[in-house]
Copies of this chain bind each other. A is one copy, B any other.
Amino acid sequence: MTTKTTIDPKLAQWLDANDARVRDQLFEFLRIPSVSARSEHKGDVRAAAQWLHAQCARIGMQVETLETAGHPIVLAEWRQAPKGAPTVLVYGHYDVQPAEPLELWTSPAFEPTIRDGKIFARGSVDDKGQLWLHIAALEAHLATRGTLPVNVIVLAEGEEEVGSEHLAEFVKAHRERLKCDAVVISDSTMFAPGIPSILSSLRGLAYLQVDVTGPNSDLHSGMYGGAVVNPATALARIVASFHDADGRIAIEGFHDKVRPFPDAVRAGLRELPFDEREFMEHLDVQALGGEPGYSTLERLWHRPTCEVNGMLSGYTGEGAKTVLPGQAMLKVSCRLVPDQDPKEIAKLVERHVLKHAPKGVTVKVTELHGGHAWRAELDGPLYDAASRALEAAFGRTPVITGEGGSIPVVNDFATILGAPVLLVGFGLPGENAHAPDEWISVENLEKGMRAMACLWDEISKQQM
Contact = CB atoms under 8 A, between A and B. Distances in A.
Interface of A: 203, 205, 207, 209, 214-216, 219-230, 232-233, 235-237, 239-243, 283-291, 296, 299-300, 303-305, 307-316, 319-325, 328-329, 331, 333, 335, 358-362, 368-369, 403-406
Given A233-B239, A311-B328, A225 B404 contact: yes
A305 B222 CA distance: 9
A18 to B, nearest CB: 36
Nearest to A243: B233
A230 B305 CA distance: 11
Contacts of A309: 221, 232, 314-315, 320-325
A142 B261 CA distance: 92
Number of copies: 2
Given A309-B322, A368-B319, A314 B288 contact: no
Contacts of A358: 289
A283 B228 contact: yes
Counting chain B CB atoms within 10 Å of each CB, the highest count among A207, A237, A287, A331 belongs to A331
A311 B308 contact: no
A312 B243 CA distance: 20
Nearest to A358: B289
B225 A322 contact: no
Contact of A236 (B240, B289, B300): B240
B237 A240 contact: yes
18 contacts: A214-B285, A215-B284, A216-B284, A219-B283, A225-B305, A225-B335, A229-B288, A232-B309, A233-B242, A236-B237, A236-B240, A236-B311, A239-B240, A289-B358, A308-B325, A309-B321, A310-B316, A321-B331
B308 A226 contact: no
Contact of A310 (B209, B287, B288, B321): B321
